[in-house]
Structure 1
């Protein structure tokens, strides 16, 4: 009886610990949006360190800076960049892309506008949006600008810097994931640019489906399941990617499955809003494509197919033995 009581007490304790751990994860993943809602009374500007005074003023103007009321202007230095991105501090780093972050109402979706698209050479607005969603941003308006041609990758570091300077607890895990996602999407997009039947909108929507499927599976996602989810998803969107590109998506899916961001109640709804927004602006791009595609359902279908094949084999040999 005493052992039984100890067992019951132990199970209760473990349940309590698990509950607190889940709550802590949820709080961490929702912290980013909470800070934006509460602290961004004015827009926040983060300027690249390498801008000359003339370029800085030009970029602020591009970001619709209003000197009569906007006071939150920060500079992303090479030291701050190194700390955020967990790399060596290199004074030769060139940081030109700059960002403006403004809060939006809870019913509005995440918005990204690149006001100098000719100067952001590798990153599209929806790539930023996908990465920002992984970071935990649900609704905000992000504006990106650069006075000269640059990749645009340092703008994401500017978003991190803004959030952290305003009190958000952005985990290294979330930053690394968002950065990995941005690099993966930009690399795949760059390598397929100009190819027939390829479209960046399809890649970004496919990524929202992959992330949703990963959130459904949680940290129980296996390597084979990740491969199946990615392969079936890109097939659904008619994306003919190389094995190397597929592996980048699979690795990201596996890393995402270990992250606490997928425990956030709002993560999947943010992805759904992002997907709907991309599709609505894409014209006929998604004509004939199943937009209700469920990557996890393909896993269940695979199980059923294997079960049917096995049963057919059993029935065949059973028939031979009669």
Structure 2
């Protein structure tokens, strides 16, 4: 009898020592590393603007297998195609384009509430094929259109300006059942075009796009806050607000000769329904925080898995398992 008890002690001690060699937190990290970002982001335990992940290929896109690698697409993504008709529907009703010209492709993944919009513009086979639009422009313009809490990845298999990539973003949002107001999207699209001149003039400053789009976001936030208080700012007041925001970002002198198209776009935002939305200020603040200090094409600095709701759930499960194991050992004695 005493021999059997001694045997149990030796066996359980060996098991316990083996398990203690790997801390619970480390075991959780290993579990997290086997979970792709898109899987954890689209978990049903979290709330997002989107219900699932999408990849939207331009109708003229080629080499889709390589695009899938660049955009980090897997079988969990719903596949759509952005056509010339979609471009006219979402971007420019009076514009003329062809399916062959629709080259930019995008992947859109839901992220944690309060994360705002983050954008990665990725190289294709080592080439920067999105030649004009910056990650910061995509982020703030999508926010102004009514999109929030997503990560957008953009690429193209050949050189294009990238201005049609928003077509894919809007199409995915619509396919997910979210209704985007046309007036909102048109004012946002105008901002994309309006900021091109200032960014081109300051192309040697990698931080300029982030500062400019943060100033744009700051101004839209101020407009929204005034309208929620019952005041609609005039064009002159919008210009004053925008200039103040440029000063705060230390880019007034660099922008003043290119600001009129931006002010015109801000006036259109002021006329759009989203400018009166009760939750716009909080959402745009999230995206301002993403763009204001960013530079280059990679904005997404995803939260560590263990800090996400899914990660915390895994950690709690691991801790619960450990407690049950200890209780099981105790039951032997």
So what's the TM-score if we normalise by structure 2? 0.66
CA contact (8 A) 1:109 1:140 kept: yes
Given candidates 251, 254, 275, the residue that maps to 2:288 is 275
Q: How many residues align?
A: 242
In the alignment, is residue 118 of structure 1 matched against residue 131 of structure 2? no
After TM superposition, which residue ranges in structure 1, 4 or more long, deviate above 6 angstroms? none
Q: Determine the structure 1 residue equivalent to 2:224.
A: 215
| Aligned counterpart for 1:165 among listed residues 148, 168, 175 | 175
Q: Contact 1:39/1:166 (CA < 8 Å) preserved in 2?
A: no
Higher relative contact order by CA 8 Å / sep ≥ 6: 1 or 2?
2
Superposition pairs of residues 1-322 of structure 1, within 5 angstroms: 40-52=50-62, 55-66=63-74, 69-70=75-76, 72-85=78-91, 86-91=93-98, 94-116=101-123, 118-194=128-204, 199-218=208-227, 220-239=232-251, 240-241=253-254, 245-279=258-292, 281=294
8 Å contact from structure 1 (residues 63, 145) kept in 2? yes
Q: Distance in 1 between matches of 2:115 and 2:214?
A: 19
Mind listing any 5+ residue stretches in structure 2 that lack a counterpart?
Answer: 1-45, 296-333
Per-residue deviation at 1:214?
1.5
Aligned-residue offset at 1:280: 5.0
What secondary structure, in the 3-state scheme, does the structure 1 residue paired with 2:246 have? helix
Residue in 1 aligned with 2:39? none
Are 2:223 and 2:232, in contact at CA under 8 Å, matched by a contact in 1? no
Alignment RMSD = 2.5
Note the C-alpha offset of 1:100: 0.8
Distance 1:94 1:256 in 2: 28
Partners of 2:53 and 2:99 in 1: how far apart? 29
Query: How far apart are the structure 2 equivalents of 1:265 and 1:181?
Result: 21
Q: Runs of 5+ in structure 1 lacking a partner?
A: 1-35, 283-322
Residue by residue over 1:171-195, the C-alpha shift from the partner in whole angstroms, topping out at 9 and shown as x without a partner, is 2111111111111222220122237
Q: Which has the larger radius of gyration?
A: 2
Offset, 1:158: 0.9
CA deviation vs aligned residue, 1:137-158 (integer Å, no higher than 9, x gap): 2211111111222111111111
